[in-house]
Amino acid sequence: MIDQQRGRSMPLRSLDREVPEIAVRGDAQPRALTDVLVRDTTVAYAFIAPAFFLLLFLVAYPFALSVWLSFSDARVGEMGSFVGLENFQRLLTSSIFLQTLQNSIIFTALALSAKTVFGMILALLLFRIGMFKRLIRGAVLLPFIVPTALSTLVWWWMFEPLYSVVNWTLKALHIVSRDVPWLPDPYLAMFTVVLVNTWRGLPFFAICLLAGLVAIPREMYEAAESDGASAMGRFWYITVPLLKPVLAVVILFSTIFTLADFNIVYVLTKGGPMNMTHLFATYSFALGLQGGQISQGAAVSLFLFPILLLVVFVQLRMVRKSSTYE
Amino acid sequence: MSDLARWARGSRPVFTLYLPTMPFVFFALFPLYFMFVTSFKKNAELYDVNAVPFWIGRGVTLGHYELLSRDTLFWSWFVNSLIVSLAATVISVVLGVLAAYPLARLKFPGSDSFGVAIFITYLVPPSLLFLPLSTVVARLGLSDSLWSLVVTYPTFLVPFCTWLLMGYFRTVPKEIEECAMLDGCNRLQTLVKILLPVAIPGVICAALFAFTLSWNEFLYALVFVSPAELKTMTVGVFSELIRGDIYYWGGLMAGACIGSLPIVVAYVFFLDYYVSGLTAGAVK
């Protein structure tokens, strides 16, 4: 990663800086260098300390606590005692949890596919747009910026059973003859939460992929064009391979945050109907806070952790690999 | 090339480019437009299944905004959100600047591990930690106070700011700092007097994102704070305007409009910072 480059250049740089001092001191050269390194280390630790302790007490400690809770029979307000894997065993035999697991996979797979495909299309369009560039980019990015909890409210209103603007339009166009039960129907409810997640996440994909497209050298396309490559050929053999690193990072990044989504599902369906839209976060909330079974709730949210680790692992590996080619 | 020729060449993209882009723009903006329109509609029109829902046909009303100001603690929520977001932003940017500097510039034992740790915490979603954090917050005696949010928001903001600023600091040539250090400045002075003025765009970007993320935060605010007068904007509008089976849709939309307004205003003024912060998060 970047650290490797830093590793190579850093001692040299400290040496550079100390050259005048060393020249004056003459024989004290080795000590001066150690001095600087010690001084830099102290400064570095002093600068990092506030962030370090914050993350230690409010991220690392809660995480450890979460692991402990998931192995205990704690309830809200009491510490509980160690029960081993009981919580996980109970979860894996609970039909609601298995439903949540299935929902999470379906939700993430659908939302990610939609965001990738449409994000790619949108990025390609935005890339070529010249007039009103800022205006259009600004408009398209807006859903990502406004508070999700509040913008999901308007989606709820748009799918409200009696006054839904979507149903009104569909009926006015004679596509359907009666109201579509968007939120009361389990499958349509899943469709709706995926739709809203896509609405919110699409700008992130489009803007990141756009940044990736801008970075591709124009000469590549010109060369391919003079070799007679079609537009489709240029897309598959130049754009896609060169965009792969960005695409991979964006997808990995979004996998975590799509899987861990809370706001959209909580506001729109609260996990219903019949637990058919519960995700790890909302089910963990329902079990741990509303049900008071904090140990079970912690166990549910810990299911996010392996995916987090996987993403971190793949991403670090990719960053390392790309820096060796630099 | 003459203007006419340019226009002739330029008209083709209307069909191949601008027309296909329209559905995306419509998809992005319609819900926000609908939110805005609904908030000014009279209840009689709002709850008439035969009225055309896309525009206001029977007169504009400020009634929903009045209801919000008069019958709810809306402005308290607004002020709470403002206090929490500003405090969390200041804390996170300061800690982020301090942590990013050594990570970008100095070599010290453990720098790699700390860099990786920052990266991991940057990816930890709040929904993974809200349960144990609620225990920690309760034990610190911060439940049901705005402090619980001021203290916990930096857990996801500091890694973000550090990561973003680290990338930014690396783009600043280190020679200018070395000159200052040769003139006798210490590291802190160099950072504050030399690097920060040059890195101001990066700092603005970090601050904007920290503020936006705090303002938009929902889960921690929902879990850690329950008294109505201490709620933040996002939670207040959602939980206090839905009473049992009664939904104040006009009020909900009015609240959503005002709740989104500060972010949208900041966004309009600093669009480029938002774009660069967004891509820095994932692409760098």
Q: pLDDT tens, B113-152?
A: 998 899 889 889 999 999 999 999 999 999 999 999 999 9
Residues of chain B found within 8 Å of residue A257, distances taken between Cβ atoms: 125
In this prediction, residue B172 carries a pLDDT of 86
Chains A, B: CB pairs < 8 Å: 307
> Which member of B101, B120, B253 has the closest CB to residue A154?
B253
Tell which B residues from 214 to 273 touch A, by Cβ distance under 8 Å: 215-216, 218-219, 223, 233-235, 237-238, 247, 249, 252-253, 255-256, 259-260, 263-264, 267-268, 271
B242-243 and B246-247: which strand pairing? antiparallel
Instruction: Identify all chain A residues contacting B181, using CB atoms and an 8 Å cutoff.
Output: 17
Report the residue from A48, A143, A249 with minimal CB separation from B114: A48
Better-scored residue on pLDDT, B188 or A5: B188
Closest by Cβ to B127, choosing from A134, A144, A281: A281
- Distance (Å) from the C-alpha of residue B4 to the closest C-alpha of chain A? 16
Residue A135's contacts (CB-CB under 8 Å, 6 or more residues apart) are none
Q: Does pTM top 0.95 for this prediction?
A: no
* pLDDT tens digits for range B9-60: 656 777 788 899 999 999 999 999 999 999 999 998 988 888 889 999 888 9
Cα–Cα nearest to B67, from B278, B263, B255, B265: B255
Does the beta-carbon distance from B46 to A52 stay under 8 Å?
Answer: no
Supply the pLDDT for residue A63. Answer: 94
- Delimit the domains of chain A by residue range: 2-70, 88-324
Write down the pLDDT at residue A27.
Answer: 44
pLDDT of residue A13: 39
Contacts of A144 in chain B (CB under 8 A): 278
Q: Which residues pair with B247 in a beta bridge?
A: B242
Contact B49 A149 (CB under 8 A): no
pLDDT at position A22 is 40
Give the model's pLDDT for residue B244.
Answer: 74
User: What architecture does CATH give domain A88-324?
Assistant: Orthogonal Bundle (1.10)
Question: Please, are residues B153 and B92 in contact by the beta-carbon 8 Å criterion?
Answer: yes
The CATH class for the domain spanning B65-283 reads mainly alpha
User: Residue B18 and residue A134: Cβ atoms within 8 Å?
Assistant: no
Asked if A138's CB is within 8 angstroms of B271's CB, the reply is yes
Q: Measured between alpha carbons, how far is A89 from A94 in angstroms, rounded to an integer?
A: 9
B53-111 per-position pLDDT tens digit:
999 988 899 999 999 999 899 999 999 999 999 999 999 999 999 999 999 988 888 88
State which H helix or E strand residue B246 sits in: strand B246-247
Substitution target in A56, A59, A75, A302 with the highest count of B β-carbons within 10 Å is A59
Contacts of B112 (CB under 8 A, 6+ apart): A1, A3
- Mutant choice from B12, B131, B192 vs A, greatest count of A C-beta within 10 A: B131
Neighbours of B163 (CB within 10 A): 23
> What ipTM, to 2 d.p.?
0.91
Mean pLDDT of B223-243: 92
Q: Which residue has the tokens 């990072």?
A: A249
**Three-state SS for A118?**
helix
CB distance A153 to B238 below 8 Å: yes
Hey, where are the domains in chain B? Answer: 3-61, 65-283
Q: How close, in Å, is residue B51 to chain A by CA atoms?
A: 9
- Share of residues in chain B with pLDDT > 90 (%): 59
Q: B130 vs A301: CB contact, 8 Å cut-off?
A: yes
Low-confidence ranges of chain A (pLDDT < 70): 1-38, 77, 321-326
The DSSP output letter for B227 is S
Predicted local confidence at residue A272, as pLDDT: 81
Verify cis geometry, omega within 30 degrees of 0, for the bond prior to A241: no
Amino acid (1-letter code) at residue A296? Q
Which residues of B are less than 8 Å from A141 in CB distance?
28, 271, 274-275, 278
Q: Which of residues 73-92 of B touch A (CB under 8 A)?
A: none
CB A211, CB A203: distance < 8 Å: no
Question: Which residue in A303, A275, A300, A274 sits closest to A285, CA to CA?
Answer: A300
CA-nearest residue of chain A to B239?
A267
Q: Which two tokens mark A254?
A: 């979004």
> What DSSP element (H or E) covers A319?
helix A304-324
Q: In chain B, which residues have their Cβ closer than 8 Å to the Cβ of A138?
A: 267-268, 271
Q: At what angle do helices A148-158 and A165-172 cross, to 10 degrees?
A: 40
Nearest-5° angle of CA A179, CA A182, CA A183? 125
Q: Is A262 in contact with B218 (Cβ distance < 8 A)?
A: yes
| H or E stretch covering B243 | strand B242-243
Q: Report the pLDDT averaged over residues B208-234.
A: 95
- The mean-pLDDT minimum among A129-143, B112-126, B175-189, B199-213 falls in B175-189
